[in-house]
Amino acid sequence: MPVNILAAELDDAGLPFETGLGLSSLLFCVDPIEGNDPTLCESMASWVWRLAQANGYLDAWNLLRSGGTKLQDFSRLDLGPTCHIATAVLSNLTLLPRQEVASLTLTKNLQYLGVEESLMGHPWVLNYVPPASKRKGARHAICTTCLREDAVPYWRQFWRLATAVRCPVHHHALIDRCPVCGEPIVLAHQRKTPLDQCESCGTAYAERRERTYRHSRSEWIEMAPLAVLQEHLPLKVIDPRLWWAGLRALFFVLCIPRRATRFAVSKVPSTYLPTLRMIAQSPRVDFARHSLSVRHDLLRMAAWLTRDWPANFVGTVKAAGITACDFSAMEFGLPYWLYAVVNESLYGKRYQVNQEEVRAAKAAMSKSTKPISKIALKRQLGVTEGKALDALLPARLKALSHDTIYTIMGMLEVDIQTTTSAREAKASAIRDACCIAAATWLGLSFTKVCELTLSDGLALNRTWQALVVRDETSRQLISTHEIRLAQIFCRWGDLYANGVRHRFCLYQQKTNRYFITRFGRPSGGNGLAARFADLLRRAGVNDWGAGVRLLVKDGGLTSQLEKCPQSMSLFNEMQSFNSDAGNVDE
């Protein structure tokens, strides 16, 4: 009988215990192809497809379903949380050790590259399939010569990475599309065509002959990230992972159309100009979503920019008009080997107007009939930003007032009451309201709020309850705003802790986080940010785009208690009460 992973007992990591079955539930167990070289190891999707074919299943999806899981997105078979479930299912089906099955996933490669997966996918993995294509699955770039020489054709893990542009064995370019019909090379869960043929037109990939490149000084381009060592890189870094972090920053700048336009008119070798012009004329696309030819040229250009470091890089980016501000626009940090050069050579101070100049421009504009605004002053002075402008005409709201916060929470209360009576919709609305309440009270970002532990969440509920039930003499020591908000938050917290969270925990997902979704795992806070921005917009806050920063800058409502010693002592008393209550076995 197939093993139902959803009904199996879970361990502390959320994975099922070993079943200890003596016989495999499959008729044939196909061993995955492994090797000492990380570029030769088989990908998870390729092995699952061969396993399904050997046991007579219609496709890989039916094989996984026989193990008790329905994986809808086959491209995430070896990524993120999905790979843990798939690993447990396949280990139980084949009786292979879980470590051996887990070695087929991209976990080691992704940990080595040092970047976590986001909602848009991993920046180094080929997850994206063009919308025009109907095939969705694990995208690969393949080597036709490897498939021709394989005794059993299979697809490699290395071919799943966006950095895979050349074959390290045969030294020629890989292909990511069928040379005849142009369809992307994707291993979908419903695939029935052999791995050495195109699923769309049936063309044999092995018949194609690719051009061999001459030996390059940039050996790292043809190597898997796990195999790249210090001696393969053009500059000295403590850890090769820092090299990939710097490459990601370079590609972030190169893939912006306006920046690519500047590079195209600077002193860049002509071999890279077609790619730069193509990027300049297209919408913004991440590195992993570009075609293989574009990724190939970007990797070669990165090798050229880092040659004779840092002279060649500094001269090129200065000629292109790239400054340190272009590198500071990204959401991730720069490694020191790149940050030191950018900060020292590309940082240029801009002219800053003083307050006398701003006052003079404001007095001159007051004689006209046009209204005086900060934008008009910028045009008059010929500057973009400045401390003097911010001092006389603040552009942004620094923090929300207590009255505005109370108005927003009242709107959120109305939304909860008017939400459809569907259980899941009502429960999700209460959970989101509690997350926003905790962020408001503690002065945290939504991401940090979602990381609160169960004990922290219950202690916060007890704090609200203590404020509500205090006698009138003690309550006068605390602001009325805190009391009014604590009454609302206390009601929301009781609804979530006593009903909603227990309902979400029925999905058999163990977690020590307080705020979990109906799928049983914590959320990253992205949906909360959009929800809160909508509340700010409806409340008439002009700076609604600042979102939760209007709360974090204020330091949370608990920081207001520090202004009054008596109220602060009362708050410390409640915190000690929460600590004592947290020691009791709940």
Tens of pLDDT, residue by residue over 231-289, are 888 888 888 888 988 999 999 999 999 999 999 988 899 999 999 999 999 998 889 88
What span, in angstroms and rounded, lies between the C-alpha atoms of 359 and 346? 32
* Amino acid 305: pLDDT: 93
* Amino acid 450: pLDDT: 84
Q: Which of 188, 6, 189 is nearest to 92 (CA)?
A: 6
Number of residues written out for the chain: 586
Cβ atoms of 163 and 210 closer than 8 Å: no
pTM above 0.85, yes or no: no
Please work out, in degrees rounded to the nearest 5, the angle formed at the alpha carbon of residue 254 by the alpha carbons of 252 and 255. 70
User: Which pLDDT band holds residue 56 (cuts at 50, 70, 90)?
Assistant: confident
User: Which pLDDT band holds residue 362 (cuts at 50, 70, 90)?
Assistant: confident
Which pairing describes strands 138-139 and 186-187: parallel, antiparallel, or unpaired?
antiparallel
What span, in angstroms and rounded, lies between the C-alpha atoms of 247 and 189? 32
* Amino acid 522: pLDDT: 59
pLDDT at 99 over 70: yes
User: Which pLDDT band holds residue 503 (cuts at 50, 70, 90)?
Assistant: confident
What span, in angstroms and rounded, lies between the C-alpha atoms of 266 and 282? 19
Cβ atoms of 16 and 32 closer than 8 Å: no
Q: Which residues pair with 172 in a beta bridge?
A: 212
pLDDT at 15 over 60: no
Cβ atoms of 246 and 335 closer than 8 Å: yes
pLDDT > 70: percent of the chain: 77
* Amino acid 513: pLDDT: 83
> In 3-state terms, what secondary structure has residue 530?
helix
Cβ atoms of 124 and 161 closer than 8 Å: yes
Give every CB contact of residue 302 below 8 A, 6+ residues apart in sequence.
Answer: 247, 250, 251
Q: Which tens digits make up the pLDDT trace of 195-245?
A: 988 888 888 887 766 666 665 667 888 888 888 888 888 888 888 888 988
Average pLDDT rounded to a whole number, residues 92-107: 86
Of residues 356 and 563, more confidence is placed in 356
CA 165 to chain centre: 24
What span, in angstroms and rounded, lies between the C-alpha atoms of 31 and 40? 14
User: Which pLDDT band holds residue 427 (cuts at 50, 70, 90)?
Assistant: confident
Of residues 560 and 78, more confidence is placed in 78
User: Which pLDDT band holds residue 11 (cuts at 50, 70, 90)?
Assistant: very low
Cis peptide before 225 (omega within 30 of 0): no
Cβ atoms of 550 and 536 closer than 8 Å: yes
> In 3-state terms, what secondary structure has residue 139?
strand
User: Mutual orientation of helices 273-280 and 257-264 as an angle, nearest 10°?
Assistant: 150
Domain ranges of the chain: 1-227, 229-345, 355-392, 402-582
What sign results for the dihedral spanned by CA atoms 175, 181, 186, 187?
negative
Share the mean pLDDT of the chain. Answer: 78
